Amino acid sequence: MAQQDDLVSKVLVLDSDPKCLERIRAFCDANQLVGLKVQPDNVMAVLRSNVDLGGILLSENFDGRPHGGVQMATLMHAIRAELPIFLRREVRASLDDLAPSERKAICAAYTMDTMDTLRQPIADYIFSLSYPNALVRGISDITCAALSSQFKDLQVQIAPPYIVRDRLIYGEIFTLIPIESTWCRGYMMLQTEEIELLELVKADRTHISPDQGLDFRNLNGVLGEITNLVWGAFKNRYMGDSARISHMSQVPIVINHLHRYISFGSDNPQLCFRYTLNDSAQGDKLVMYQKFVFNLNWTPEDFSEDLTSVEDLVESGELDLF
């Protein structure tokens, strides 16, 4: 199992100048970046796929066209606005001469002479959260242990951990579970491809039988249980007393895009409302479903309503000055 103390991030390197590329490569090596080179014609296709990027290093004359890089930046920003773009310029490390719509797409400019100044924007935009090494190593240990327990006779390999800014989902099945403690709050996701998981189930490498794999809900369950194991171990190892003091149970939410399916881990019925918004002038309409799933606690005998007196009620939208 590979261990890596320093987190890295993949950056797309879009630069046609061979001399600059050498220095960019050295800069990436020194700053925990893994550069990915892409042919100009493939850039958009790569950005639409899931490559787990942290950012883009782009030259202003990319693809041999003066100002071509800036035009490319606005196109890329339109489809992947969350990815920071760092622009290499020929003359000045400034964005002042660009139009506002072009400036919006780029977070920092540099020249080969001022490359060192790129460290701060990289730190601000990509490595803005500091993850303790012990946490990163611990997560790897916990998860490898969970995977080993849920899959039979398989070797678990782990790539060096990395940072992304993109918000794409990998595969068709994913689980989501809140992580809450006094020092951190957020979510953990596990994402995978249904077909690959199904193949392992059919090969009897999991704890469900091959014919159980014919029902995709059982596949969801495999991923759900791994999520549960990792969450439990994470809680025990890193949340300490805060977890014991306020024991709030959690179950993974499982989403399967292929089957347009979502599970909250219980068979409880869902309370649903359907809203239709009609534009009688244009004939357009919007249908929206609202669903309540009380999968973690449902005690209707304790139901109460906060009936504030009329005098105390401040109407929404009104300013209540203290």
Partner 1 sequence: MAQILVVDDSSTVRNEVGEFLKSNGLDVAYAVDGRDGLAKLKADPAVKLVVCDVNMPNMDGLTMAEKVRSELNNSAVNIIMLTTENSPAMKERGKAAGVKGWIVKPFKGEAVLASFKKMVGV
Binding site for partner 1 (CB under 8 A): 314, 316-322
Closest to partner 1 by CB, 304 or 316 = 316
Nearest to 104 by CA among 79, 123, 72, 81: 81
In the bound complex, what is the minimum distance in angstroms from residue 309's beta carbon to partner 1?
A: 13
- Which CB, 91 or 314, lies closer to partner 1? 314
For the CB of residue 163, give the shortest distance to partner 1 in the complex, in Å. 16
Q: In what order do the strands lie in the sheet with 185-192?
A: 185-192, 173-180, 253-256, 261-263
The continuous run of DSSP H or E covering 285 comes out as strand 285-292
Minimum Å distance from CB 255 to partner 1?
A: 21
- Closest to partner 1 by CB, 64 or 132: 132
Nearer to partner 1, 1 or 321 (CB): 321
The span from the CA of 128 to the CA of 130, in Å, is 7
CA–CA dist 271, 290 (Å, integer): 8
To partner 1, the closest distance from the beta carbon of 211 in angstroms equals 43
For partner 1, the closer of residues 181 and 228 by Cβ is 181
Cα–Cα nearest to 9, from 48, 56, 58, 53: 53
Instruction: Say if residues 80 and 57 touch (Cβ distance below 8 Å).
Output: no
Q: 159 or 277: whose CB is closer to partner 1?
A: 277
Could you count the other beta carbons within 10 Å of the beta carbon of residue 289? 9
Q: Would you say 66 or 186 has its CB closer to partner 1?
A: 186
CB of 315 to partner 1, least distance (A): 8
At 8, is the secondary structure helix, strand, or coil? Answer: strand
Least Cβ distance, residue 122 to partner 1 (angstroms): 18
CA distance 203 to 158: 22
**What is the C-alpha separation between 275 and 290, in angstroms, rounded?**
8
Q: Say how far apart CA 287 and CA 21 lie, in whole Å.
A: 51
Shortest Å distance, C-beta 57 to partner 1: 24
Judge whether 84 and 55 are in contact, CB under 8 Å: yes
- Distance in angstroms (rounded) separating the CA atoms of residues 117 and 113: 9
Give, rounded to a whole angstrom, the gap between the first and last alpha carbons of the chain.
58
Q: Given the complex with partner 1, which of 248 and 321 has the nearer CB atom?
A: 321
Neighbour count for residue 192 (Cβ, 10 Å): 17
Shortest CB 307 distance to partner 1, Å = 13
